[in-house]
Structure 1
């Protein structure tokens, strides 16, 4: 492709040679995510993956797609781009594990106002780090230079992941019953939801505001808000490998506990969650105080410190908590399953 160059396209603001440089920069990053099943290499028209379905009676593909959202505005202001890719991967893989599927591969879509190879390398380094944490391969993607559509220093980042599970081992909440316990796995702060509200109430329209060190946090506001979304793939894998009956899982994203937990409940049952059972990270208290936001709205917008909720039988609670601790997770028994139609009750 060394002889590929268009003066006319360059005059319109699209530098194809910069695109080739970006590909050369990210190629080793992408290849660092390769796992058994990957076919081909970077540069083809489609990402190839041969899944291992040995021992499965009825393999089911589970897919999830998402973006980073307006959290990107914080990355722009901080000029720090190596973590938002983790968010992008996390928002997808954390969704598909709710069905019991383990992610196999990921593809990203990056649209930029101007192709700056070093910045693209930084963004993709986050995507590949997220893939490594999730145990999946980055097998393809697209970088589109769109001058006049995005400002030169801005971009959008989205992606999707595909996972695999045997139908007989899917997690669907069908065996939930009264008395099952709920485990909450700690979040890594705000994750990647509610940033339109965060930016509004904290007045985040310039870098100076983000560089203020806040004693409650122990670091700057910008550092706190750019903490990447936690990836829970290993936690679910470990629980199931050690025989824990994971009956239902909910990824706590936009809409908070109020919207997401009911999605894992079956008709006639409600999740009763005790707010005092887990600590709320200081960032949420700062947001609530700064915007004078009602507590109900906080729990209906943010994860409030719980990024994943899991339902398991009561007699397995000790075993499950021990496994999660050994997997590096901070987890709490946050409630139980009761009869009811509300889907979730926060008490």
Structure 2
């Protein structure tokens, strides 16, 4: 069957020029993240991997995404913070092993590319990398017509870092009596949004300012970017502080501690030892969510945890405070 109109890639829904423009803008944002080890050669971004500050460097990597928090960005048209979330979810996972994040590679995919939206996302990714002292060295922007709903996109990222061989934190040295320090989160971070949306959106509009949020809009509370703990954790580790285990408290909440605690031990958490942010209480009340379900889904105000010897807990808490963290003594390690 003949087609009188010649087909083209653009006619099929892929705009190469828009893709080039988005990539160019992303590249300019990426340059603001370059560490001293970055070398550019004819458009190729390279990392000088001699690791002169390490005796026996070990590479470590990880990948993650932002999840359904993106739905809030789509609904509000605010896309400048989800890139920070993307970086945070990756780099916070690396530092729980004591690793220094070095390079980041983002992936952005959509049905029809909107260069302004893509630029907002790219600027967020760059801001996240600046907060983590991590360089964007590549990435991908994909336009896939018919694959995503109009106005929607998805994101993923990969991060690679380095850790001294004898400085890898595995949790194997955790002992009964160790204290669990919890570092305050900035809000929901990037987990539990399927439940959060189901609980809240039938009762509130995103532009509402519930009294529980002290004047903050619901949209702003839900889009508050994930806190990045890289600089503070690395600074504390460099002091020689004894940290037996680190955990990134994300989806499934404090169950993340069981990834690092030896099987013969358990963690006892005192849920009244820190102040739970208002957004969690609003979700619980609006959705009639049981307390156990809240703690099994959300970080509940603690985004990162450090397991330390009891004798050092107060001093290490003070070190975290010096580097901008609010650190609570939230629990103790016990025999199972």
Provide the TM-score with structure 1 as the length reference. 0.91
| Pair 1:66–1:96, CA change in 2 (3 A) | same
Report SS of the residue matched to 2:78. coil
Structure 2, unpaired ranges of 5+: 1-5
1:235 aligns with 2:232: yes
Residue by residue over 1:133-179, the C-alpha shift from the partner in whole angstroms, topping out at 9 and shown as x without a partner, is 01110111000011111123110011010110011011111211111
Report SS of the residue matched to 1:216. helix
Aligned to 1:143: 141
Aligned to 1:105: 103
| Residue 318 of structure 1: how far off its partner (Å) | 2.4
Which deviates more, 293-302 or 54-63? 54-63
Aligned to 1:129: 127
Report SS of the residue matched to 1:311. strand
Report SS of the residue matched to 2:88. helix
Which deviates more, 185-194 or 312-321? 312-321
Which deviates more, 295-304 or 23-32? 23-32
Report SS of the residue matched to 1:33. coil
Report SS of the residue matched to 1:329. coil
Structure 1, unpaired ranges of 5+: 1-5, 341-347
Aligned to 2:3: none
The 5 Å alignment of 1:172-251 reads 172-203=170-201, 209-217=205-213, 218-251=215-248
Aligned to 2:276: 280
Report SS of the residue matched to 2:106. strand
Aligned to 2:65: 67
**Cα contact 1:187–1:305 (8 A) shared by 2:** yes
Aligned to 1:345: none
**Cα contact 1:239–1:246 (8 A) shared by 2:** no
Residue by residue over 1:219-246, the C-alpha shift from the partner in whole angstroms, topping out at 9 and shown as x without a partner, is 1101100001100111211111112111
**Cα contact 2:23–2:141 (8 A) shared by 1:** no
Q: Tell me the number of residue pairs that the alignment of Structure 1 and Structure 2 aligns.
A: 330
| CA RMSD, Structure 1 to Structure 2 (Å) | 1.7
| Pair 1:34–1:282, CA change in 2 (3 A) | same
| Pair 1:33–1:42, CA change in 2 (3 A) | farther
**Cα contact 1:41–1:139 (8 A) shared by 2:** no
Distance 1:295 1:227 in 2: 23
Aligned to 1:338: 334
Which deviates more, 68-77 or 166-175? 166-175
Distance 1:136 1:7 in 2: 43
Distance 2:246 2:42 in 1: 34
Provide the TM-score with structure 2 as the length reference. 0.94
Residue by residue over 1:26-57, the C-alpha shift from the partner in whole angstroms, topping out at 9 and shown as x without a partner, is 2221100000222336954xx53222423534
**Structure 1 residue runs of 4 or more that deviate by more than 4 Å after TM superposition:** 41-44
Distance 2:302 2:219 in 1: 21
Distance 1:202 1:150 in 2: 25
Aligned to 1:88: 86
